[in-house]
Amino acid sequence: MTALEIRLRIIFTNPKQFRCFHPSQSSIQNPNTMEPEQQLSQETSKKAAKKEAAKAEKLRRRQEAAAASNAASGVAGVSIEELDPLAANYGDIPIKDIQSSVVSGQVWTTVSSLTDELKDQTVLIRGRAQAIRAVGKKMAFLTVREKGFTVQCVLTVAPDLVSTQMVKYATAISKESFVDIEGVVTVPPEAIKGASQQVEVQVRKIHCVNRAATVLPINVEDASRSEVEIEKALEAGEQLVRVNQDTRLNYRILDMRTPANQGIFRLECQVSNLFRQFLLNEDFVEINTPKLTAGTSEGGAAVFKLEYKKQPACLAQSPQLHKQMAICGDFGCVFIVGPVFRAEDSYTHRHLCEFTGLDAEFEIKEHYSEVMDIVDRLFVGMFDKLNERCQKELEAIGKQYPFQPLKYLRKTLRLTFEEGIQMLKDAGVEVDPLGDLNTETERTLGKLVLEKYGTEFYILHRYPLAVRPFYTMPCPDNDAYSNSFDVFIRGEEIISGAQRVHVPELLESRAKECGIDVKTISTYIDSFRYGAPPHGGFGVGLERVVMLFCALDNIRKTSLFPRDPRRLEP
């Protein structure tokens, strides 16, 4: 295509058309003119030719788009004088070029890998235009973000490299749009404050891949701000935007993009991965248990009911019954990672209607301490590895939500429930020695334990039988207590575990004592009639582990799309 042809196209082209996407509209190559026989014969040469044609077509479209950008940047029509010879270096990429037209072989560099090692090299990056700032008409700064990492890109007008039209084009890009930037890596003498990467990219080409709406419901920079920053600014007389929890969740797609949230969910991924890898190394089998169940799950209230092919059904409140059945089925040691459903009306900082359960169950030989041993090794190892491997993530989280690293011992502290009650009593806290602890008392005990033993992670065991589920094994010496335990981080419960009742007669009588209609769980109880080993296990709330490891104040911060009694969207 000659320069004249380009000019003619500009005059006859509505620039908006280049954001028009329907493939048939802007298709140049008419498939009807191609002979189908030809398509099947001589495959290789045809493919090569096709690739060439596609490349040529792509170039043509880029030029066309660039020309259109020129046109768009003019106020009314485009004069020949305004035509920019560098037009092909910027503009919106036509949809066809990202609709699987061609495999160009181009290589994109990730933003996180932009370091001074790449000094003077030309790189191609794709990311979001997080912030754009013009300095007069001849310079602009553009912060590009990819997966929470940011780099400062600089446009400076220079002959044969960057035109004023290009700077104008760049500064008009809406925030959060996706851009492809080609440029040269430079290392500025001073530290860069507004970006994670300590290099700059001197822009040579900039193309918009896909534009964001010009008005966004929340600004990612606002959502990334810490309370400390907001308060400091306020002291200095500046009122910064504070994005509240509900707004964040309503526009989770935008909120998710903050460095802290990128860190939180990458950390969460590591928690479940470390849980899995530890147990797989210990010869556990990961199984999948059904979430749709007949009857009423574990017999309690707070289940979501539904109709299943004209039968009454409900969503499993936990994989408890099925994981025990798998133990009766000879798997020895199993674990499950999956959603659990609680129709509770709790609207607290630590309850969700749907969360991710990390569940383990296994044969034990003699004592529920075997279960606590696994929990101890698993979590101490996990905390070590999180601190070691997730430094970047923890840093990003801490920057917005400052916290102290978790204090834990090499060998996890174990206190009996009675010992815990005594500590509370000694501190003047009145508690029912055979009742459950409430959130407040748990926190107080957490503080007492931290003072006395120097740990924020400990196990409380031998809980009163009355406050545990029917399948919990009573203590051998005193059936007011049970072979069970809870585990706490920073004074809040994250794990419940126990030895289970493996004798069907006892299981049945315990269920009855707990007011459960045994008919609704008969397949479960029957499982123990065909020979069952002594066994135990535990369940962990994934979101709670992450929340408490990072001392976050609300479980909604660690659930990607939280579900609570009032929230079913997005």
| Sites for a second copy among residues 285-324 (CB under 8 A) | 285-294, 304-309, 311, 313, 315, 322
| CB 28, min distance to a second copy, A | 9
Residue from 71, 473, 494, 511 touching a second copy (CB under 8 A): that is 473
Considering only residues 236, 477, 515, 519, which one is a binding residue for a second copy as defined by CB under 8 A? 477
- Active-site amino acid positions: 342, 344, 350-351, 493, 496, 544
CA–chain centroid gap for 99, Å, is 27
Write phi, then psi, for 372 (nearest 5 degrees): -65, -35
218 within 8 A of 151, measured Cβ to Cβ: no
Q: Which is nearer to a second copy, 101 or 156 (CB)?
A: 101
Q: Does residue 178 touch a second copy according to CB under 8 A?
A: yes
Q: For a second copy, how many residues bind (rule: CB under 8 A)?
A: 133
Q: Is 106 in the site for a second copy (CB under 8 A)?
A: yes
User: Packing angle between helix 43-73 and helix 3-12, nearest 10 degrees?
Assistant: 60
Calpha distance 345→274 (Å, rounded): 32
Q: Which stretch binds a second copy (CB under 8 A): 155-163, 283-291, 378-386, 403-411?
A: 283-291
**In what helix (H) or strand (E) does residue 114 lie, and over which residues does it extend?**
none
DSSP 319: S
Positions in 64-93 near a second copy (CB under 8 A): none
CA nearest neighbour of 383 among 350, 412, 416, 414: 412
Q: Site residues for a second copy, window 14-73 (CB under 8 A)? A: 21-24, 27, 29, 31, 39-40
Q: Residue 489 CB, nearest distance to a second copy (Å)? A: 19
For residue 538, what is the enclosing H or E element? strand 535-541
Q: Which of 65, 141, 145, 550 binds a second copy (CB under 8 A)?
A: 145
8, 135, 228, 560: which one binds a second copy (CB under 8 A) = 560
How far does the chain reach from its first CA to its final CA, in angstroms? 47
Work out how close the CB of 116 gets to a second copy at its nearest, in angstroms, rounded to a whole number. 22
Is residue 220 within 8 A of residue 258, CB to CB? The reply is yes
| Residue found by looking up tokens 């099947």 in the block | 40
45: Cα separation from own chain's centroid: 45
- Residue choice 62, 502, 556, 557 for contact with a second copy (CB under 8 A): 502
User: Based on CB atoms, which residue is closest to a second copy, 120 or 330?
Assistant: 330
CA distance 62 to 56: 10
SS3 of residue 496 by DSSP: strand
Shortest separation between residue 328's beta carbon and a second copy, angstroms? 5
- Piece in contact with a second copy (CB under 8 A), picked from 95-103, 134-142, 163-171, 183-191: 95-103
* 210 counts as binding a second copy under rule CB under 8 A: yes
Q: In 3D, which of 191, 118, 176 has the Cα closest to residue 144?
A: 176
559 near a second copy, rule: CB under 8 A: yes
496/475 Cα distance (integer angstroms): 16
Query: For a second copy, which stretch binds (CB under 8 A), given 113-121, 206-214, 440-448, 450-458?
Result: 206-214
Site for a second copy in 394-453 (CB under 8 A): 418-419, 422
d(Cα 272, Cα 480) in Å, to the nearest integer?
35
The residue (of 78 and 218) whose beta carbon lies closer to a second copy is: 218
Rounded Cα distance, 393 and 431, in Å: 40
